[in-house]
Structure 1
Amino acid sequence: MEYGIFSHIEEIDEIEELLHGAEADGIASVWLTQGFGHDALTVIGAVGRGLSRLRIGTAVVPVYPRHPMALAQQALTTNMLIGGRLVLGVGPSHPQVVEPCWGMSYARPARYMREYLTALNGALTQRVRFSGEVVTARGDLTIAGDPPVPTVMVSALGPKMLELTGELASGTVTWMVGPRTLAELTVPTITAAADGAGRPTPEVVVTAAVCVTDDPGRARAAIDPVLGWYDDKPSYRAMLDREGFARANQMAIVGDAAEVRAEIGRYEAAGATTFAAQLYGTPQERAATRALVGELATASASAGATGADF
Structure 2
Amino acid sequence: MHFYPHNIKDFRSGTVSMTRMERWLYRDLLDCYYDTEQPLPLDVDKVCRMIGAREAQEKAAVAEILDFKFTKTDAGYAQERCDAEIAAYHAKAATAQENGKKGGRPPKNRKPGAPEPEAEDNPEKPSGFQSGFNPDAIGNPAEIGLKTNQEPVTNKTTTTTSPALRSEDPEAAAGEHEEFTLTPAPAKPGEQKPLTSCPVQKIVDLYHECMPNNPRVKVVNKPRSGAMKYRWIEAAVLTCKPFGYKTQAEGLAAWRAYFEVCNESDFLTNKTPPSASHPNFKVDFDFLISPNGFAKALENRYHS
TM-score normalised by length of structure 2: 0.25
Name the structure where strand makes up a greater proportion of residues. Answer: 1
Greater share of helix: 1
